[in-house]
């Protein structure tokens, strides 16, 4: 069965004090959240220890936003899977478009990170998606097919989440229409040899569009940026009416 995963990606937002304030507001709002969905918070590395303490004994899961492929070594600025596991991390975002766009992430480095994360017992959330130019040129399907083909070499599809994030819809308020997201996610699923992979949608998900997004049959959850920073709005998203 495909699991529904509602994940927040805090990106480079929130100090530890701000994270604690968020959780004090957010966790009580998730006490009655149906157990048919998993809630995940993917927070900056410096927030992991604080958030982990708050989530102890709670059903909300901890996530990180990147992981290096080596177990350790001279890689200034990088974080290993063991370091994340020690903090109680379960999920890790890999290949987010911001990493691809600003930090030189390629399908090959994405693949290395995916394999390392899985080998160490983390569940990767692989992000794929097209730019506005690629969408306008009608190449969405090919772009994503290439990201999947190169990124998923030797990756175990049974321990993977995919997030379809059209780049033009990220942080723009320009949500991909629910039917279009549903269709593209269906195309992604058709390319996979294992059809039970959970595939999320990401890009301007808000309290006022979550119910429509989650009503789509191919969409197994969301990866939320801006709206995951506010306790009330992320709680409304987690408590979507399904
Ligand atoms: P927004 O929800 O702010 O558009 O960000 C989406 C995203 O990039 C999640 O990873």
Q: Can you tell me which atom of ligand 1 is nearest the CA of 227? A: 2
Q: Which two tokens mark 96?
A: 């987010």
Which of 99, 89, 86 lies closest to 126 in space, CA to CA? 99
Chain mean position to CA 173:
18
Ligand 1 pocket, CB under 6 A: 9, 96, 165, 170-171, 202-205, 223-227
Distance (Å) from CA 48 to ligand 1 centroid: 20
Please indicate whether residue 68 is annotated as part of the active site: no
Q: Which two tokens stand for residue 156?
A: 């175990």
pLDDT profile of the chain (242 residues), mean per 10: 95 98 98 95 98 92 98 98 98 98 97 98 98 96 97 97 97 90 97 93 97 98 98 98 86
pLDDT score, position 194:
84
- Per-residue pLDDT of 192-202, as tens digits, reads 988 899 999 99
Active-site choice (38, 105, 130, 165): 165
Which of 97, 164, 224, 234 to mutate for ligand 1's pocket (most ligand atoms within 8 Å of CB)? Answer: 224
pLDDT of residue 90: 98
73 CA from centroid of ligand 1 (Å) = 31
Whole-number pLDDT of residue 57: 81
- For the chain, which domains are there? 4-238 (3.20.20.70)
pLDDT tens-digit readout, 52-80? 999 988 889 999 999 999 999 999 999 99
pTM above 0.85, yes or no: yes
Q: Among residues 38, 96, 130, 218, which one is catalytic?
A: 96
Question: Catalytic residue at 180?
Answer: no
Place of tokens 């911001």: 98
Give CA separation, 148 vs 18, 55, 102, 193, in Å: 36, 32, 20, 12
Positive or negative: CA dihedral 92, 47, 44, 18: positive
């Amino acid at each position: 069965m495909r699991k529904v995963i509602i994940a927040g990606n805090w990106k480079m937002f929130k100090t530890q004090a701000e994270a604690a304030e968020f959780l004090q507001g957010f966790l009580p709002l998730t006490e009655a959240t149906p157990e048919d969905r998993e809630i995940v918070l993917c927070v900056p590395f410096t927030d992991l220890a604080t958030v982990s303490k708050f989530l102890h004994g709670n059903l909300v899961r901890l996530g990180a936003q990147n992981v290096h492929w080596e177990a350790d070594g001279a890689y200034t600025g990088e974080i290993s899977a063991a370091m994340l596991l020690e903090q109680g991390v379960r999920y890790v975002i890999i290949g987010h478009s911001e990493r691809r766009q600003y930090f030189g992430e390629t399908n090959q480095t994405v693949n290395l990170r995916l394999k390392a994360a899985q080998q160490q017992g983390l569940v990767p959330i692989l992000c794929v998606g097209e730019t506005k130019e690629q969408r306008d040129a009608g190449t969405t399907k090919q772009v994503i097919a290439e990201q999947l083909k190169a990124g998923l070499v030797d990756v175990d599809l049974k321990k993977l989440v995919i997030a379809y994030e059209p780049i033009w819809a990220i942080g723009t308020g320009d949500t991909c229409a629910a039917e279009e997201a549903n269709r593209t996610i269906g195309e992604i699923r058709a390319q996979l040899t294992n059809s039970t992979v959970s595939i999320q949608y990401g890009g301007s998900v808000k309290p006022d569009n979550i119910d429509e997004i989650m009503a789509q049959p191919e969409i197994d959850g969301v990866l939320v940026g801006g709206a995951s920073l506010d306790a009330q709005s992320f709680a409304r998203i987690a408590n979507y009416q399904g």
